[in-house]
Amino acid sequence: MVMSRWIGLLFVLTSIFLCSCSSPNQATGLTYVTDWSHRLTSGEITGTSQKVNILDSAGLPVTTVILQNVAAPVETSNIDLPNGTYLLQVQLFSSPNAAGTMTGVMEVPLTVANNRPMIRSMVGDAVDGITIGPDQATMQVGRGQQFRAFGINSSAQKTFITPDSLTWSVLGGVGTVTTDGNFTSTAIGTGTVRALYTNGRIGSAQVTGTPPTTTHGKWTILVYMNAANDLQQFSVLNMNQIERVASNPDVRFVVQWKQFPAQFSGGTFNGTRRYLASSDFSNNINSTLLQDMGTSVDMGSTQTLHEFVTWGKANFPADHYCLIVWNHGNGWRRSLSNLDLTRAVSYDDEKGTSIQIWDLNQALGSEHFDMISWDASLMQMMEVAYEIKDNTDYIIGSEESPPAEGLPYDLVFAPFRDNPTDTPKNLSKSFVDGMLAVTAYNSKKITQSVIDTSKISALATAISTLGTELKNNSVSLTADIQAARSATQAYSPTSVRVYRDITDLCLHIESNTAIGSVLTASSAVRTALSNAVVWEGHNSNSPNSHGLSIDFSSGSTFAASSSDYALMKMALSTQWDEFLTIAP
């Protein structure tokens, strides 16, 4: 179920929640009152200014007010707000103008509904208790609830707590909770979410997990949309495209979507959310919010991807599954800007993380899909395909770096919507057709292909044989190998990124040598690759593309990353890296 919200605030004269009703002509909003009179109490949380933030239901800032009239001693701010649900987040600072050290924090959910609630805080009062809001929540297994907690003094009035001072836990085995209070129901039953403060005070809320409502469909499309980076604005475009083709209940789009609007433009919410796409043709996002996962999720983590996959398949069972990994990509390699970072795909720039290709096994585990699609750059290469061949029937992606707008989801998935009983092989062609149908992409380098994983082992064997032949004849082939490297279709080439189209590479090798064993091995690679490529398309800006690339570095270039390559299944199963080690 959607994360529940408080419908009303308790009318409590002691100011836990104070509310005054408004007449139709009276402005609605919030009256925030803070009492500075105890701020000099020794040993308690104190400060000289407060930053009062109002966040909307998407976690985006609505307005900010600074309070610092410590001599008042009671300071009041009236904040006009339209009706809606909000989070009052007050930060206490050691210096004026919200500067210096943040010494305290208070977070209170509130609802404005033709009224003006009053919320009062005390500065310098001891934390005598912890209050959690909401105090109870019921949800289906697999869904979640964001809990907030704040301190109260001995008179049950709100006071500040030290930042990052709560330890969250769940009793009763009914779910899990993150470090910022985001609860996920994992079992049917009733339990307790607890927040433990550093002074031993505990707040609690009752949680009840109910049986999930699951229906079996034809297709479940799982979209792992990590937009916590400079692609954020394009995630909104792609989600709107998904909504345009989400009208068939047998074809469900389940999206785990992270945004980081504090750093990147075009954001529509803050944090990570799970959505079930709903049919909509506006430019707004009108899909069903399944779970607000809060702001602590790391989308560059193999564990996070694995949890999404298993959760999605359990809650949205189907005859067929497609997994799309949406983000930047760098083929099998780490980031070029910082080789110490593990940045191959799914960059989470808030956390500074991403997923290594050799760790995809941890992310996917034993889960199997009809299709895995990389909506990311440079991922359609042999090293990546070999790594995930046992997890899917078809691998879909681009040898090139596609436009930032990525897949045209409405074009790609229209055939799924219209004919979901067609074979996965036939439906996979729409990825290729869709990319080539976008007029705005005509000036871009467009490649897209579909690889049959049942043919990858035979291709790997042929590549291994070619690697052995090139290694054994490297001295006599020095000039020919170098010439082939220069002439072959390349993808986003740099001094260390030497990705080449496999078929085009073989053709150049064959045109430059008369060595029979090399010719035979190269021809066998082309035949095996032709068998593996189900569908392929490219435009004139990437003319010699045939569906799959491979690393064709020289030995001097390969040396710096050979230890990484050795971690991949491709290195364990073939002789290709032995050739790269000595390649001229």
319 and 421 within one domain: yes
342 CB contacts (<8 Å, ≥6 apart)? 334, 353, 354, 355, 356, 359
CA distance 13 to 178: 33
CA distance 397 to 413: 15
Q: Give domain status of residue 378, yes or no.
A: yes
Mean pLDDT of 360-386: 97
Asked if the bond preceding 96 is cis, omega within 30° of 0, the reply is: no
Q: Give domain status of residue 564, yes or no.
A: yes
pLDDT of amino acid 22: 38
Q: Give domain status of residue 4, yes or no.
A: no
Give pLDDT tens digits for 253-312.
999 999 999 999 999 999 999 999 999 999 999 999 999 998 999 999 999 999 999 999
* pLDDT(8) > 90: no
Q: Which residue has the tokens 């709107």?
A: 240
pLDDT band at residue 222, thresholds of 50, 70 and 90?
A: very high
Q: Give domain status of residue 7, yes or no.
A: no
pLDDT of amino acid 334: 80
pLDDT of amino acid 344: 79
Mean pLDDT of 20-38: 74
- Angle (nearest 5°) at CA 300 between 295 and 303: 90
What CATH number has the domain bearing residue 191? 2.60.40.1080
Mean pLDDT of 467-485: 97
528 CB contacts (<8 Å, ≥6 apart)? 455, 458, 459, 461, 462, 463
Domain endpoint, select from 453, 468, 486: 453
514 and 405 within one domain: no
Mean pLDDT of 216-244: 97
Contact 297, 304 (CB under 8 A): yes
* pLDDT(339) > 80: no
Report the chain's mean pLDDT, rounded to a whole number. 92
203 and 306 within one domain: no
Domain endpoint, select from 185, 210, 235: 210
Mean pLDDT of 539-563: 97
Main-chain dihedrals φ then ψ at residue 276, nearest 5 degrees: -105, 115
pLDDT of amino acid 492: 95
Mean pLDDT of 413-425: 98
List the one residue out of 248, 264, 175, 167 whose CA is nearest residue 215. Answer: 248
Contact 357, 376 (CB under 8 A): no
* pLDDT(545) > 70: yes
232 and 193 within one domain: no
pLDDT of amino acid 337: 53
pLDDT of amino acid 26: 54
197 and 77 within one domain: yes
Mean pLDDT of 91-111: 96
**How many Å from the N-terminal Cα to the C-terminal Cα in the chain?**
59
User: Domain range for residue 562?
Assistant: 457-582
44 and 165 within one domain: yes
**pTM score:** 0.88
* pLDDT(436) > 60: yes
162 and 26 within one domain: yes
Q: Give domain status of residue 36, yes or no.
A: yes
Q: Give domain status of residue 5, yes or no.
A: no
pLDDT of amino acid 1: 32
Bridging pattern class, strands 318-326 and 369-375: parallel
348 and 297 within one domain: yes
Contact 123, 36 (CB under 8 A): yes
559 and 426 within one domain: no
Mean pLDDT of 110-116: 93
Per the structure, the count of domains in the chain is 3
pLDDT of amino acid 263: 93
pLDDT band at residue 15, thresholds of 50, 70 and 90?
A: very low
484 and 549 within one domain: yes
Question: How is 276-316 classified by DSSP, letter by letter?
Answer: E-----SSS---EEEEEEES---TT-HHHHHHHHHHHHHHS
Mean pLDDT of 220-231: 96
pLDDT band at residue 448, thresholds of 50, 70 and 90?
A: very high
268 and 172 within one domain: no
Mean pLDDT of 28-51: 96
CA distance 257 to 389: 26
Q: Give domain status of residue 527, yes or no.
A: yes
243 and 343 within one domain: yes
CB atoms within 10 A of CB 494: 11
Q: What percent of the chain lies above the pLDDT cut of 90? A: 90
pLDDT band at residue 34, thresholds of 50, 70 and 90?
A: very high
Q: What percent of the chain lies above the pLDDT cut of 70? A: 94
Give pLDDT tens digits for 486-538.
999 999 999 999 999 999 999 999 999 999 999 999 999 999 999 999 999 99
Q: Give domain status of residue 10, yes or no.
A: no
pLDDT band at residue 5, thresholds of 50, 70 and 90?
A: very low
Mean pLDDT of 221-232: 96
